[in-house]
Structure formats: structure tokens, C-alpha cells
Amino acid sequence: MTFVQEHPVGTQRLGTESNDGVHIGGIHWGAVVAGAVAAAALSCVLLAFGSGVGLAISSGSPTWQDTSTVLWVVSGAFLIFIALSSFGLGGYVAGRMRARIAGAAPLNDMDFRDGMHGLLSWALAILIGAVLAVASAQVVSRAAVPGGGQAGPATSVTGETTLAYELDELFRPDRASRGMDMSYARAEASRILLTSSRRAGVSPTDRDYLAQMVTMDAGVPPQEAQDRVTTIIPQAHDALKLARESGILIAFITAAALMIGVVVAWFGAREGGREREIGSAPAWNWSLRSPRHDKR
């Protein structure tokens, strides 16, 4: 049954008493899961919107290499906004949906319990997002393979996703015929081009071998094949450099957004717990001071 009673300062006055009189405590996983699902759902919606309007900070298209600094900043700010919105909602849902604890409990302990439920919803939402990201990466890798098949030993997924245009330009046939299977040739060429990011670059032997491949597979004269190789190797080097720099920047932005998210989830859960106890509609109060000490 639910009860209300006078209480000394520093204790919780609302609670639900179990039939056997045992206090309900510990982790309430239903609230944690609800908060995590809400956070993951909102983040998916916002990410889809950001991708649709061009605010994705990475893309499988070759044009992403030309992204301006302003667009990078705006995209990073949008990613932080996603973290604030989704984890704030998830933490609030976890705190609001958490069951009350029977009997009297210190206010600081109640704040801590609500905050921990927000933190757990944050962690679970990240796990859900990681699973979705792995599934999406598998779909993208299959789509990047010529013919849409499964990536195998003859396929270089990294080369196809990062150097797709360079490989197309390298093996562009001299004639209109395109019935030849180029999967192995593209994979082998991409592995050679990936060595352009090394300090020594592509070795002369690999350059000559790559020119021979272009001559045979694209049906172009040896001199034109050599010219293509000479042109494509610097382009591949620049593309790999941009991809490496972009990966580092994405990692820093993502880590910053997630660290901000854990703080927002913690205080969002405390705010949800406050609204749960007083039974009112959401009225956000993000002060560091415990909201349960506010006079009403």
C-alpha cells in the first residue's frame, strides 16, 4: 500500500510497502531498460535526420573527403546535441519509472540510486547502439563488395570503401565491354594502394606490377597504364590520410559526446526521481543541489 507520513529532515517520506514488509531496493531493471530503449530510439531518429540533411560526420561517398571545417564543427555540435537529448530523456525515463523504496531512506541515498539508474540506462543504450552499428557495418561491407556478395579472401573491404573511386579510375576499360569479373583485380590493387600510406610508399616493383594489371584488365596501352598508376597512387595516399584524420576526429567527438551523455543521464534520472516522488508533471531543474531539498 502507499503511505504518507511525517518524517525527520534528511529522510524520504514517500514509498510503497511490500506485503511482507521487506523494503524494495537494488536495481530496477525494468526502468533501466525503458530508459535505454528511449535513449536509443531518440538517438536513431536524430541520427537519421542528421544524415538526411547532410550533418553526418562520415560517409561512404567519395565526396565526404571534401568536407569543410565548418561542416565538421556543425556536425560535431549536432552529435553532442544528440547525446544531450537522447541520454537526458533516457535518464529521466529511468528515474521516473523506477519503483519507490518502502520506508524511510536518506535523501542523498535516493539521489544516488536514481543517478545510478540513469548511468545504467546510459550504458545499456550504448550497448544497443554498438550492436546496431555492427549490424549496419556488416550491411555496408556487403554492399561495398562488387556484386553485393559476402566479403572473402579476394575482396578488400577497406579498399572498396575508402578507395572505391580511385579503383574505378584505375581500371576504367578502354572499351565499353564490362563483362569481365574484376573483383580479384580490384582487391589486389587496393591492397597495393593501401601501402601508399606507409613512409616508404608503394615500391617500384608494386608500381610495375600494378601497371601490368591495368594493361591486362583494362585493355589500355602500357604507357597509359603507367600514367594511371602514377596519377592514382598520390590520390590514394591523400584519401587514406583524410580517412585516418577523420577517424581520429570522429573518435574524439564521439568520446566527448558520450562523456557528456553520462552526466546528462545522471542528472536526468535524479530529475525523474524528483518528479516521481512528488507525482507532478515534468518541470526541469538542473541545479547541482538536490531537488528534494527544494521547498514547495
pLDDT in tens, 188-204: 888 888 888 888 889 99
Q: Is the pLDDT of residue 277 over 90?
A: no
pLDDT at 240: 87
Q: Is the pLDDT of residue 151 over 60?
A: no
Distances from the Cα of 111 to the Cα of 20, 84, 130, 214, 268, angstroms: 26, 20, 29, 67, 11
pTM: 0.67
Percent of the chain with pLDDT over 90: 29
Q: Which of 22-31, 64-73, 129-138, 277-286 shows the highest mean pLDDT?
A: 129-138
pLDDT at 199: 85
The arithmetic mean of pLDDT across residues 22-35, rounded, is 78
Q: Which of residues 83 and 135 earns the better pLDDT score?
A: 83
Q: Could you tell me the end-to-end alpha-carbon distance of the chain, in angstroms, rounded to an integer?
A: 25
pLDDT at 226: 92
- Determine the Cα–Cα distance for residues 86 and 43; give it in Å rounded to an integer: 5
DSSP 14: E
Residues 87-108 have pLDDT tens digits of 999 999 999 998 876 655 566 7
Q: Is the pLDDT of residue 31 over 90?
A: yes
Burial of 141-180, coded b for 16+ CB within 10 Å and e otherwise, reads beebbeeeeeeeeebbbebbbbbbbbbeebbeeeeeeeee
Q: Is the pLDDT of residue 9 over 90?
A: no
| 120 φψ region: left (φ > 0), alpha (ψ -120 to 50), beta (else) | alpha
pLDDT at 118: 94
User: Exposure of 266 by Cβ count < 10 A (0-12 exposed, 13-18 middle, 19+ buried)?
Assistant: buried
Question: What cell numbers appear for 239 in the block?
Answer: 584519401
2 sits in which H/E element: strand 2-4
pLDDT at 87: 95
What residues are paired with 203 via a beta bridge? Answer: none
The arithmetic mean of pLDDT across residues 166-178, rounded, is 73
pLDDT at 42: 94
**DSSP strand pairing (2-4 vs 14-16):** antiparallel
